[in-house]
Amino acid sequence: MSKGSFIVFEGIDGSGKSSCADAVAKMLAKERDVILTAEPTSEGIGAFIRSSEDLTPEAEALLFVADRAQHTHVIKGWVNDGKIVICDRYYASTLAYQSSSMNGRSVDMAWLKAMNDKVITEPDITFLFDIDPEVGMERVESRGSKSKFEALEYLKEVRSNYLKIAKERNFVIIDASMTKEKVFGAVSEHILNVIREKK
């Protein structure tokens, strides 16, 4: 049986990571057993996060990590079974978003890293879809959906945090302003190399 792989897509809102993750999953599914998942998850703690309002930044961060701890346990099982797991957001989202200032409130980055490092498994490859927040916001507005995490100045800080994390943890940075075809090509090449190395 071929060895499984764990692949993560990260980026600010409007970066195109979710669309690319879906396209890559469909491509790989032609030859391998692929699972496309996301954080926060859609059930249990993740569902609670999605439905909750007025949480303190610290409480929200703790819930994200709790959701991730359970999700990571499941992901490890899938990978051990030889599946390719593609995850839309993982620990870097919590580090980048929760440590950025929203309404004058943020969470300490060192505390976030310490909590997450206790529960995560490091992906085989993490892509950071990097894009100018103004372009990302235009994309978000064009699809008619916005969240509390999509204020422009906030996203500028999130992007800066993402780039620092990417450098620290050796993420593959993708220029998300390229065409969808070029982005897909660049991502696919990296992923196929990872899969080949694990055979």
CATH of the domain at 136: 3.40.50.300
Domain of residue 11, residue span:
5-198
Q: Nearest 5°: phi and psi at 60? A: -65, -45
**Range with the poorest average pLDDT among 33-42, 94-103, 173-182:** 94-103
Q: What is the pLDDT of residues 182-197, one digit of tens each?
A: 999 999 999 999 988 8
Order the strands of the 125-130 sheet from edge to edge.
Answer: 34-38, 84-88, 5-11, 125-130, 172-175
The predicted model gives 152-165 an average pLDDT of: 94
Flag whether pLDDT at 151 surpasses 90: no
Please, what is the average pLDDT of the chain?
A: 92
Averaged pLDDT for residues 15-28: 96
Under 8 Å between Cβ of 173 and 130: yes
Is a pLDDT exceeding 80 seen at residue 146?
Answer: no
pLDDT in the model for residue 86: 98
Number of domains in the chain: 1
pLDDT at residue 1 is higher than 60: no
**Taking 60 as the threshold, does the pLDDT of residue 20 lie above it?**
yes
Q: Using 50, 70 and 90 to split pLDDT, how confident is the model at 100?
A: very high
Q: Name residues whose C-beta falls within 8 Å of residue 96's C-beta, 6 or more positions apart in sequence.
A: 10, 158, 159, 161, 162, 165
**Residue 178, pLDDT score:** 95
pLDDT of 110-136, one tens digit each? 999 999 999 999 999 999 999 999 898
Task: With a cut of 70, say whether residue 150 has pLDDT above it.
Answer: no
How crowded is residue 186: how many other Cβ atoms within 10 Å of its Cβ?
16
Distance of CA 35 to the CA centre of its chain: 15
Share of the chain above pLDDT 90, in %: 78
Inform me whether the pLDDT recorded for 148 exceeds 80.
no
Query: Residue 22 has what pLDDT?
Result: 97
Residues 32-42: b if buried by 16+ CB within 10 A, e if exposed:
eebbbbbbbbe
pLDDT over threshold 90, residue 145: no
User: Which is higher by pLDDT, 153 or 95?
Assistant: 95
Question: What pLDDT shows up at residue 196?
Answer: 85
Q: Coil, strand or helix: which one is 126? A: strand
How confident is the model at residue 63, as a pLDDT? 97
